[in-house]
Structure 1
Amino acid sequence: MLMDRSHYYCSTMNILGVNVHYEVYEKEKGKPTLVLIHGFLSSSFCYRKIIPLLEKDYTIITIDLPPFGKTEKSTKFVHSYTNMAKVVIQLIEALQIKKAFLVGHSMGGQVSLNAAKQRPDLFQKVILLCSSGYMKGVHPSLKFGSYVPYFYLCIKHWLASQGILKNLYNVVHDRTLIDQEMMDGYMAPFLDDKIFRALNRMIRDHEGDLPPEELKQIEQPSLLIWGNEDKVVPVPIGHRLKKDLPNSTFFSFQNTGHLVPEERPEHVTEKIVTFLSQAQ
């Protein structure tokens, strides 16, 4: 899908000591701001199909979270959800945006919830696309392994053994959607060996998802969108989040997997626009 690049720019910003890549789509000044946050082992590429559908109504900002996409693969950055949320917050503040909406896919959903919890004054509503939920911190043995020299090579070997096609099969229900452009786009960040060292650091820093008692403190309206065939974050997680988030709405698509922005771009866009246009 071709994008109109006449109102687009990309840049990097140093936040918390790491060079963060972001992209801005702004067809018209004064439109509400929509911040798109990708998931684990992904990048802003995952939103390529919904950006052209949303940019006529919103200013869109996509952020590649450390160490993914085109953002620096740092081994010094603390890759916790709390810090990733701070990256989002500080970038939005630096762009002098006073109010914004958040969209988070998978791990990006947890980052979005963290950001919304930290700054309820900045983020008015949250859309969660197959958001991770209730995952505990990394097992102590794996965390210990991250301190072993060259453990990052084990991570590289494991990801290589899975292969891009197998990974996409796991996240997409309709496999006919997988083409060369899709495989190349999701594979690109992993051509830089530095990402495996950064992922090793991420294992060490991962603190787990927000517990129910903290989710219940997030009062912003939230929309939860799921794929009924999600193998990565099954639908029951979405129903549980719906119960714990006090001002939330849940919707799921049939015959759809984990990568809902790729599989149902038009339908996801419709749900987002309707939700954001509602007075709360």
Structure 2
Amino acid sequence: MWILLTFIALLLFLYWYTYPRLGEVLLNAYQQRALQQASLVRRRYAINGISLSVLETEGARDKSKPLLMLVHGFTGDNTVWLPLAALFKDEYHIVIPDLPGHGQTGFSSEWHYGIDDYANILNALIWRLGYQKATIVGNSMGGYISAWMARHRSTAVASSILLCPAGLPANKKSRLDTMLDKGQNPFFITRRRGYYRLLAMSMASGPYIPKVVKDVLADQHIQRVDEYQRVFADFVDTGYMNAEELAKTRVPTLIIWGGKDGLLDVSALDNWTSAMECDYEIFHDTGHMPMLEAPGRTYQRIQNFIQRQRMAQAA
């Protein structure tokens, strides 16, 4: 009997020891392969006193290629852009920052996390890379940052592409709005199942993620909840964009929204199109992260938009 009990105990120990580490191995392997496919390497730049971690096109900068900057949303990091970056790699010099308070850039209580603070950092990063302008693609909070820069830092923005952007209210409540009304913030989780719910709200048709990898992502998120609370407070303090100011935007802008977005309801698109001149499209089968849920379609829509802008400028 004791041999059987010892064997069971050994199996339980091996399961406990290898389960989370197996997820880390799988996640790291996926990310390394995706980095290679997108020809990206990780670098750091000192920007406004912050050591900013970025993914950037490998090798020397080819200034004949325009700069493409991809900006993630709240609690995200730059790895969410890897599938889309792989499609753009031959046409652009790509830079994907981890915003302060996120990813490998990290967090400091001395930093500020308002939209204008983020915009100033990204504006400085563009100059630090030796460019005058960038095409900026932003998702969620990153979309808000891109829209803010298109209005207030327009000399640094060639085109602004907003994927399910924050920044203006929706006409219908999303699942996130309903939870916030009840005093529940799905980003501030303490258990793995809360992360599963957040993923379901974020993506309607996302890529398959093994449970062991989901648990690693959940644990990483939970460890940073206190930091996310501070970032969220600064983000919310920014408030919505002023519609009259937004109407003054002259940077070409494209908005793509997922019709099944559970975080920011697609009805917000009406307020964006009423406030400013822009091109737009709804992906009816995707949620809040079209760059992960439909990277090929997102790439084609962005490229078509940019090519039309170039043709118009050349005419």
Q: What TM-score range do you get, normalising by the shorter chain?
A: 0.7 to 0.9
The yes-or-no answer on 1:254 pairing with 2:284 is: yes
Give the corresponding residue for 1:238: 269
The yes-or-no answer on 1:227 pairing with 2:249 is: no
Q: Contact 1:125 / 1:220 at 8 angstroms: preserved in 2?
A: yes
Cα RMSD of the aligned pairs, angstroms, is 2.7
TM-score of the pair, normalised by structure 1? 0.83
CA change 1:255–1:72 in 2 (3 A) is: same
Q: Aligned partners of 1:12 and 1:223: how far apart in 2?
A: 30
Shift of 1:186: 4.7
Q: Which structure 2 segments of 5+ residues have no match?
A: 1-29, 171-183
Q: How does 1:92-131 map to 2 (within 5 A)?
A: 92-131=126-165
State which drifts further: 115-124 or 202-211. Answer: 202-211
Among 199, 221, 228, the alignment partner of 1:199 is 228
Q: Which structure 1 segments of 5+ residues have no match?
A: 137-153
Look up the SS of the partner of 2:43 in the other structure: strand
Give the corresponding residue for 2:116: 82
- The amino acid across from 2:113 in the alignment is H
- The amino acid across from 1:277 in the alignment is Q
Shift of 1:227: 0.8
Q: Aligned partners of 1:184 and 1:120: how far apart in 2?
A: 41
Give the corresponding residue for 2:190: 160
Q: Contact 1:110 / 1:209 at 8 angstroms: preserved in 2?
A: no
Give the corresponding residue for 1:9: 41
Q: How does 1:33-182 map to 2 (within 5 A)?
A: 33-134=67-168, 158-161=188-191, 163-174=194-205, 177-180=208-211
Moved over 4 A (4+): 154-157, 184-189
Q: Aligned partners of 1:25 and 1:163: how far apart in 2?
A: 35
Larger radius of gyration: 2
Q: Aligned partners of 1:180 and 1:56: how far apart in 2?
A: 33
- The amino acid across from 1:273 in the alignment is Q
Q: Aligned partners of 1:60 and 1:44: how far apart in 2?
A: 12
Give the share of equivalent positions with the same residue, in percent. Answer: 25
Give the corresponding residue for 1:267: 297
Q: Aligned partners of 1:120 and 1:60: how far apart in 2?
A: 19
Higher helix share: 2
Q: Contact 2:39 / 2:86 at 8 angstroms: preserved in 1?
A: no
Q: Contact 2:261 / 2:288 at 8 angstroms: preserved in 1?
A: yes
Q: Aligned partners of 2:146 and 2:216: how far apart in 1?
A: 23
Give the corresponding residue for 2:19: none
Shift of 1:18: 2.4
Q: Aligned partners of 1:210 and 1:157: how far apart in 2?
A: 22
The yes-or-no answer on 1:213 pairing with 2:244 is: yes
Shift of 1:171: 0.9
**How many pairs are equivalent?**
260
